[in-house]
Amino acid sequence: MKNKKVRLNKYIASTGFCSRRKADEYIEAGKVRVNGEVVSELGFLMNEKDRVMIDKTLIKPQELTYIRYYKPAGYITTMDDEKGRKTIYDILPEEVQNLKPVGRLDKDSTGLLILTNDGDFINSLTHPSVKVPKVYRVCAQGKLTLNDLTLMEKGIEIEKGQIAYAYARILEFEGKNTVLEIVLYQGLNRQIRKMLDILGHSVISLKRISIGTVDLSGLKKGQFKYLKPKQIDQIKAYLKKLTKEK
């Protein structure tokens, strides 16, 4: 094990610095040094004890961590916000402040976020070609019809040249409003809100309840839990299966 070789991009991703894809970009750009020497060869094999730097940053291995978090309303999911808005990092404890969100939820939305320092995992979950199902419970103004659901499935142009798709079913009617379960395979900005607005049914509340095999079970708003090894294995196996099917 002393002289074990590992691909440079895999090593960089294992530190949580970025994904393998992004690591390849750094390598091709000549920004990566191994033991002081610039490496621009994709597929370069290194020893795990080699000293790796990207620009002026020393890249060190770290333990990979995964949590699921029940985001409350009123917070955005970026690590820093130039506009001074509240972010989830204002309320997350220090022990998980280094973790990055996988995807996003807008300020007014609640529900499941996965956060991790595993760059490859983030890339796998968010890459548009993998099509990981994300399930939402949505309350919308007015009474939606089966025709509305058909239009959502066929696709709605939410921006010029940008078609959004969603699979939806009506769970119940609450007075004059409709409660829906909506499944997305895309990750477009404010996708559900824009689709329903176009149909004339603005969103009252929106909660994400699952991403792939990970859900909100056992979590209260504002609470997080570490993913157990079994849960990590399940979601990674699921992602591997989706990748083979595409």
Catalytic residue among 50, 106, 197, 215: 106
| Segment (H or E) for 92 | none
Is 106 a residue of the active site? yes
Do 138 and 205 form a contact (C-beta atoms < 8 A)?
yes
Q: Cβ neighbours of residue 212 under 8 Å, at least 6 residues apart?
A: 125, 132, 133, 134, 235, 238, 239
Do 32 and 54 form a contact (C-beta atoms < 8 A)?
yes
Q: How far apart are alpha carbons 82 and 10 in whole angstroms? A: 32
Q: How far apart are alpha carbons 113 and 111 in whole angstroms? A: 7
Task: State the catalytic residues.
Answer: 106
